Each structure stands twice: as structure tokens, then as C-alpha cells.
A and B are shown apart, each in its own frame.
Chain A
């Protein structure tokens, strides 16, 4: 039996696990992006006045603190985070999604903050001068202009999440990691190598699907005037 035969005869299981992998990543990235973008928007602010205490200070604190904290989380090995959440949220998909979501936070938050702050000052000033209120400025000027950077952050975090999701199998999270764990525990048995190979390579297939997905989203959501 060669690799293709293996794929053909186990296609049902393989397709199911690939779909599950895709969905887990999609849900986690969706959740994480939503949290990060909303947080990034909420704490986006001008430079706080160093001599007067205001809400800007609080926002800047949350922003910088949030970046440091989520960056630290990203350095924690995924196995550790899965282990720490297992006693709380149990075996299965919940733990997998929570942990994956945590890993998506930093990249999206960082890109949201960077995207919002690099919007041309002249554009912001003229918006203000034409009578745009703060919220309108944020949602109709800053967010669309920052969107390409934010979207790129979501793209990158998706790629990373695909490879982290594999480890989720340790806590019985769904996805291609199951093929890897099965394969290694049955090492020497028939097709165990193909199982691991398939699990690894199909991650790249999932990544390719996401890349196509993001190319389409980019095309549809980036305003024409700022498309490169």
C-alpha cells in the first residue's frame, strides 16, 4: 500500500479531520480577531497628555499592557497552555478553541494598534476639521485605512494557528493532530507512517485553503482607493 492508496481508502476519516481542523482554526481565529480588533479600536487613542489624567491614560495602559501580556502568552508552549486549561474546561473542542483563541490575540492586536496609529495624520485632521466625531472618524476613516494591516495580521495568525491546532489533539481537540497521535502510538503498525505524513501535509492544504480565502476577502473588503 502506498501513500495514495492510504489516502484513498481512508478518505472519509481524513476529509472529516481536515474539515474539523479548518473549522476549529476558523472559529478560534474569528473569535480572537473579534476580541483583538474590538479591543484595539476601543483603546486606540491619541497620545495621552502627560500632565493630565484622563481616559486616554487608561486606554494607553490597556493597550501597552495588553500587547506585553499577549506577547508573553505567545511564548508559552502550546502543550503547557493545553495542560493548564484541561482541568478547567475539560477534554475536547472547548479547550482547543480557547487555547487557540489565546494564541491569536497578540498578532491581531499588534496589527490593529499599528494599523490604526499609522493612518495619515493629515487625513485624520481634515476629517476632524470637517466635523467628523470621534466614533465616526474611528469607524469610517481609521478602520478602513487600517484594514489591510489588520487583515494581514489575521492571515498570519491563521497560519500559526493551523500548526498549533495539531497539538490540540493531546486534549482530544478535533483536527489533524488526531492522525499524528494515532500514527505515533501505533508506530511500526501498518500505515502509521502514512497517517503522520497525511496529518502533517494536510495542514498545508488547510493553509492553502485559508490563503485563497484571505485573497478573496482582501479583494472584497479592501477599499479600491488603497488597494496596492
Chain B
């Protein structure tokens, strides 16, 4: 997604995919009167277009770190670089106008209309009224809110989820290269949150921002993050992609934090397309084969409709369940549990059977892959 810069971006740097957009060098924060640092000697680099999830128990310094990037909290020592430029001592207010910022519950200004809320930063940057208005409409559209319905409403007339969408739109308004998000979906009900997360990823695919995102929800971190930064008492314990954090925690703290649910969460990282599936037959002749290949019956369009033959068992009465190959192992397990089936047919986008996943070799298969890695 990093090679899809925002269409409206001024000039995306060529080959920008690997630039270090946010660099923290030996950043430290000691609150006045505090004895131990809230964040100590932190070195961290966020590349352009990456979503980095900052996670950890409360008081671990993740929010402090986030707020030091736009200097809502002033670092005690160390340097912060944005696009190679040291911003540790520039004017904080001017700096913050260049960085998108989204917080829990949106923090919308209740006395501003939705359009005015979105236009806050553009107006401060001196955009004219017309351009600001157009930008607001464009962003409302982007976050899935109909501009003609919503632009003149006030925040309290919107649901929590809608307010949060506006919050994201407002942060994107002046097209900042960097966005900071402080538990933006924390106060939203689980179903809406899930949808907002999907939409967020969708938006990120088109805008390609560099994002630092604080969360306390590991599920969210795994789902959204290109990388996860696990914090403990002011220190960065591990900084890696989600799979590495889940499968190879750097130390006891991370492994405790990731916790017992890690194995299950990992399933959602394993895409079915990456697995070696067992073969499946659609040919009538293969019925009764002795090499253990299951056979399905297909309809005229080639879609499997029911089991024809299963190894070592009579196929009649065994429900056929399928899962799209674009899904993850998590989805496959879900389907099997739901259908009380010990195996699942994996189908491609056209609905044709591509292979089979067994409950048993799912488990051993995962183990094998772990050893491979």
C-alpha cells in the first residue's frame, strides 16, 4: 500500500516507499517531579506509508510517545525528525497543523458544523472558502458520509461512529503526510468498530499516509498494523511486523502481553493462499480412490455442491462447507466449527474448488510452518 500515494498529494517523493518519515532518536520524557522516565531513550523509525501500532499496558508510554511526535508533550531530551527535518524545536502549533491528529470520540467541536470541523486546519493554513468547502465534501465522500446530508449538521446530530469518521476526515483535511491516532476507535461498540477498521484500511489504501496509532486492543493492532511496537514502562520491548510479534515474541514481557490467545490470533494472519492445500477431485472416476483424496460433486457452473467421496468414510450425510481462498485460516476454522465439519473445501473467486483443508492437518500444518519460519 505504500506505493499508492494520495491522489491529491502535492508531489509524492519518487521511490518514497522506503523513506524514513518519522524518526525518533534517543527520545526521553521525564515528567516534572517524576523519578523514572515515562519514556526512556527511545529509538524508533516509521517508514513512509506504514501503519505502526503502539501497544502496551496503561502507563507504558505509548500515548506519551505518540504525543511527543506532534509535541503535545515536549520531549525532555532526544530528537524527532519528520521527513529528515528536525522538528524538536520548531513552533509546536505550526508543526501540528502539518500532522493529522485523531483522538477517541473524535473530539469534534460541538459548535462547528461538520464541514467547518473538517475545514479547521485548511482555514488556519489560509485556504480560501471555496477550496475548503470542496475539500470537506471530498473527504466526507471518502469516509462514506454523503456530503449533502452531513456537511451542515452539528456533531451531536451524528452517531459515535459517524463522528469518528468525521474525526478521520478532519485529520486528513490539509493532506498531511503523517497521521497520529490515539485510540480512535476505543469508545465505539464492537460491531461498528470492526466496520470502521475495515473502512480505515480501505481509505489508507488510497491515501497511503504514514500513521502512528495507539491502541490497547491487540486484535486491532494485528488487524491494522504493518508493524507493532510493544511498550512496557517507557521502553520499546519489540518492534516488528504482527506475525513476528505473535510467533516470536522478543522476551517474556511481550509473550505475556500477547498472551494465551496468540495462537488463535495468529490464524488470522495466515492467508489460505499461502498454504499448501490437499488436492481435491471433482471427477466421478476418482470416487473410491485409495490415496485419500476427497471428491466433490459439482454443478453446471463448476461449483461444488456436496461431498461425493471422503477417504475412509461414507460421504453421505457429511455437510459440505467452503471458504474463499482470499480468506485466512481463521475464517476456515470458523466455517468448520460453525458447520461441525472436520474438513473444508477452499474455493477460488469463481467458486471452483481449489483444495481441501483438514482439521487435523491444519493443526500439524501450522506447527510445520512455525518450524520452517
Whether A and B touch (Cβ < 8 Å) is answered with yes
Given contacts A128-B72, A129-B72, A131-B121, contact A145 B111 (CB under 8 A): yes
B109 on the A face (CB < 8 A) = yes
Contacts of A129 in B (CB 8 A): 70, 72, 96, 101, 103, 107, 180
8 Å CB contact of B33 from A50, A127, A132, A133: A50
B104 on the A face (CB < 8 A) = yes
A223 on the B face (CB < 8 A) = yes
Contact-size category for B:
20 to 34
Contacts of A141 in B (CB 8 A): 109
Q: Are A130 and B111 closer than 8 Å at their CB atoms?
A: no
Per-residue interface assignment for chain A, residues 134 to 146, with 1 indicating a CB less than 8 Å from any chain B CB and 0 otherwise: 0000000100110
Q: Are B96 and A225 closer than 8 Å at their CB atoms?
A: no
Q: Are B72 and A226 closer than 8 Å at their CB atoms?
A: no
Contacts of B95 in A (CB 8 A): 131
Which of chain A's residues 109-139 have a Cβ closer than 8 Å to chain B?
A: 120, 122-123, 125-133
Q: Are A125 and B107 closer than 8 Å at their CB atoms?
A: yes
In the complex, what residue of chain A is closest to B107 when comparing beta carbons?
A: A126
Given contacts A126-B101, A129-B72, contact A225 B180 (CB under 8 A): no
8 Å CB contact of A225 from B103, B156, B170: B156
B352 on the A face (CB < 8 A) = no
Given contacts A122-B104, A224-B154, A225-B154, contact A127 B32 (CB under 8 A): no
Given contacts A52-B32, A224-B154, A226-B111, contact A131 B106 (CB under 8 A): no
8 Å CB contact of B111 from A49, A126, A128, A144: A144
Contacts of A52 in B (CB 8 A): 32
User: A203–B94 Cα gap in the complex (Å)?
Assistant: 53
B335 to chain A, nearest CB (A): 40
B108 on the A face (CB < 8 A) = yes
User: A133–B92 Cα gap in the complex (Å)?
Assistant: 9
B227 to chain A, nearest CB (A): 23
Q: Are B107 and A131 closer than 8 Å at their CB atoms?
A: no
Contacts of B59 in A (CB 8 A): none
Q: Most chain-B Cβ atoms within 10 A of its Cβ — which of A51, A130, A141, A145?
A: A130
Q: Are A123 and B109 closer than 8 Å at their CB atoms?
A: yes
Contacts of A130 in B (CB 8 A): 96-97, 101, 120-121, 124, 170-171
B279 on the A face (CB < 8 A) = no
Q: Are A51 and B96 closer than 8 Å at their CB atoms?
A: no
User: A50–B101 Cα gap in the complex (Å)?
Assistant: 29
Which of chain B's residues 87-142 have a Cβ closer than 8 Å to chain A?
A: 93-98, 101, 103-113, 120-121, 124
B123 to chain A, nearest CB (A): 11
Contacts of A133 in B (CB 8 A): 93
Cβ-closest 8 pairs across A and B: A126-B107, A225-B154, A129-B101, A131-B97, A223-B111, A131-B96, A51-B33, A122-B107
Which residues in A have some Cβ–Cβ distance to B below 8 Å? Answer: 49-52, 120, 122-123, 125-133, 141, 144-145, 223-226
Starting from the known contacts A126-B103, A132-B93, A224-B111, 5 additional A-B residue pairs (CB-CB under 8 Å) come to: A120-B107, A125-B103, A131-B96, A131-B98, A133-B93
Selected A-B contacts with CB under 8 Å, 12 pairs: A120-B110, A126-B107, A127-B107, A129-B101, A129-B107, A129-B180, A130-B96, A130-B97, A130-B120, A131-B121, A144-B111, A225-B113
